Amino acid sequence: MKMLLAAALLLAGATHAQDSEPLSRDALLSNFGWDFDAVEITTEKVDDGLYVLFGAGGNIAVSVGEQGVLIVDDMFPELMPKIEAAIAELGGDGVDFAVNTHWHFDHADGNLALGPAGTWIVAQQNSTEMMAKTNVLNMVMAKYRQEAYPEDARPAISFDDRMGFHFNGGQIDLVHVGPAHTAGDAAVIFRKHNAVHFGDVFNNAGYPFIDADSGGDIDGMIAFCQAVLDEIAPDATVIPGHGPIVGTAELKAYIEMLTTVRDRVAGMVAEGKSMEEVIAAKPTADFDETYGPEGQSLGFVNRVYTSLTK
């Protein structure tokens, strides 16, 4: 998720997550400051037949072709009319398949509109299981109670490590390497288009959020990014969960940042330092110019420390 969330929560006077009651969906969206009526869906072309939609929530990849429409992530149900209108402008008619890169609300709440309309929803097995129950998402600045999705809004197709689509004239591979941003992440590789959608394992809008309370893991983030990098071409297009589209150079720099911060925090953990002492040491300081002030993130150092000590 974006740094915007932390800033919005701070402006709304949210207390530390450990001392707060979980927010409802209405309260969380209010703290975001999102006005779905005012949100504009914009489109960027990656290749013939592959596009990315930007709006509120996670980036959506769209494959459009003779066999129909496959999307990766789906934002929010309130935005679905605008999303479908944008897809129609690309030549699509509705959504045949929706892949959830993970279960968090800003990437999967659109299931609430798509599932009942007949879209086949796909996710990694751990995310499928999370969507079947109510979960408390600890975002450090606040907690959010994400309610269980109705059966018709949950994935009808799930996979463990890998699965593939032969769709719109090309192969689309879904890859799960292990716990990373969550315990159920999927990267979606569009082989024909030399592109990959990472979900929130790769966040290009600030420091990443690691859902350490629900199985996320800093070592897994690094391993996941490296494993996917190893199987895409050097000139591949990289679609992050949030932020602008980039190339593999930015992904490599991101892996280096994750590794450096992980090593610094692990060293201080080995010395017996508390979380407060680690945060005060500012282990991200030399990366803040690129990723933004760590204090405005969703507790990146907090979540690194938590994942290393849980």
DSSP assignment of 279-297, as one string? HHT-TTGGGHHHH--GGGS
- What is the per-residue DSSP string for 47-63? ETTEEEEESSSS-EEEE
Cβ proximity of 55 and 39 under 8 Å: yes
Residues with Cβ within 8 Å of residue 20, at least 6 apart in sequence: 14, 142, 143
Spatial distance between the Cα atoms of 10 and 150, rounded to a whole number of angstroms = 31
Non-local (6+) Cβ contacts of 38 within 8 A are none
pTM for the model stands at 0.93
CA 73: distance to chain centroid? Answer: 9
User: What does the pLDDT profile of the chain (310 residues) look like in tens digits?
Assistant: 444 444 444 333 333 455 578 999 888 888 878 889 999 999 999 999 999 999 999 999 999 999 999 999 999 999 999 999 999 999 999 999 999 999 999 999 999 999 999 999 999 999 999 999 999 999 998 899 999 999 999 999 999 999 999 999 999 999 999 999 999 999 999 999 999 999 999 999 999 999 999 999 999 999 999 999 999 999 999 999 999 999 999 999 999 999 999 999 999 999 999 999 999 999 999 999 999 886 666 799 999 999 999 8
CA 156 and chain centroid, separation: 20
